[in-house]
């Protein structure tokens, strides 16, 4: 299923410091209005104990309340992590848990089958082939239509690809101006024809806006993005996303947002074509 060049990371709508539901819903609707057709969520995106699936339910309600057509929207969710409510994160890659989690996510999303289900993180206590095998069973059962991986290395991608074949469509690793150690995984995704979905794609870019205050000292790797942004009259966040999109045709960034203004700005990144000299400047600084 084809998706928009930039997705919406829905996690900020449900974790610590989350907005009220009215603003959260407005953020999802702003994304849809801007042409975003990929929404990234997870069963573990919540704040307090006992809220498993908070973000999935919120996204489902926002889609149901949207006045336009949502048939082309892909909701990608994840399973295999948990939040006990004390700020920590747990991991559980047991096949039985993943299958139960996927079935519960489908119910919360109101979907006959989950469009894209991603294994949130490898569990060191469970053989990788066993966790991936659960995804294979979910595909075969029709619970999910496509499978993805998150927080993985090249060996794990290759092993999963051997097990899942065409059922594996994406890899979601952290990648941004500040964190670029997933270059090997990005190259492998391009070779295998897998989408690469950078999470936290705006890392290293300090908050600023064209009509508001700017941080006095951007992170060193972000200063060049601020310079290009000032020259272009756009936000440095938009420049960062345009830089990512220029790196590989398989990249689909999923920046988080908790305000309509933020996702509107992110969704406009594909319209910003950086000149070769601008890309060279950014790469030189990052190196």
Residue 45 is a catalytic residue: yes
286 sits in which H/E element: helix 276-286
Catalytic member of 7, 12, 45, 243:
45
Classify burial at 286, counting beta carbons within 10 Å of its beta carbon; exposed 0-12, middle 13-18, buried 19 or more. Answer: middle
* Per-residue three-class SS string for the chain: CCCCCCCEECHHHCCCCCCCHHHHHHHHHHHHHCCCCEEECCCCCCCCCCCCCHHHHHHHHHHHHCCCCCCCCEEEEEECEECCCCCCCEECCCHHHHHHHHHHHHHHHCCCCECEEEECCCCCCCCHHHHHHHHHHHHHHCCECCEEEECCCHHHHHHHHHHHHHHEEEEECECCCCCCCCHHHHHHHHHHCCEECCECCCCCCCCCCCCCCCCCCCCHHHHHHHHHHHHHCCCHHHHHHHHHHHHCCCECCCCECCCHHHHHHHHCHHHCCCCHHHHHHHHHHHC
User: Would you please indicate which residues are annotated as catalytic (active-site) residues?
Assistant: 45
């Amino acid at each position: 299923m084809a998706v928009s060049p930039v997705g919406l990371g829905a996690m900020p709508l449900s974790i610590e410091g989350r907005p009220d539901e009215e603003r959260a819903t407005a953020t999802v609707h702003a994304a849809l209005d801007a042409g975003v057709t990929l929404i990234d969520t997870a069963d573990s995106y919540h704040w307090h104990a006992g809220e498993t699936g908070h973000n999935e339910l919120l996204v489902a309600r926002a889609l149901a309340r949207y006045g336009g057509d949502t048939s082309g929207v892909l909701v990608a969710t994840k399973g295999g992590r948990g939040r006990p409510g004390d700020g920590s994160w747990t991991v559980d890659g047991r096949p039985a848990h993943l299958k139960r989690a996927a079935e519960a996510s489908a119910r919360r999303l109101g979907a006959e089958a989950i469009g894209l289900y991603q294994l949130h993180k490898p569990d060191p206590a469970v053989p990788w082939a066993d966790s991936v095998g659960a995804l294979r069973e979910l595909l075969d059962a029709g619970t999910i239509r496509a499978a993805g991986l998150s927080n993985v290395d090249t060996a794990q991608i290759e092993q999963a690809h051997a097990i899942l074949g065409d059922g594996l469509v994406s890899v979601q690793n952290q990648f941004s101006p500040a964190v670029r150690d997933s270059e090997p995984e990005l190259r492998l995704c391009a070779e295998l024809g897998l989408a690469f979905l950078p999470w936290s794609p705006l890392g290293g870019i300090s908050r600023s806006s064209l009509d508001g205050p700017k941080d006095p000292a951007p992170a060193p790797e972000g200063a060049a993005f601020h310079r290009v942004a000032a020259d272009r009259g756009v936000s440095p966040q938009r420049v960062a996303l345009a830089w990512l999109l220029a790196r590989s045709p398989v990249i689909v960034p999923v920046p988080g947002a908790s305000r309509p203004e933020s996702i509107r700005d992110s969704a406009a990144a594909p319209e910003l074509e950086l000149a070769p000299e601008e890309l060279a400047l950014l790469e030189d600084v990052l190196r």
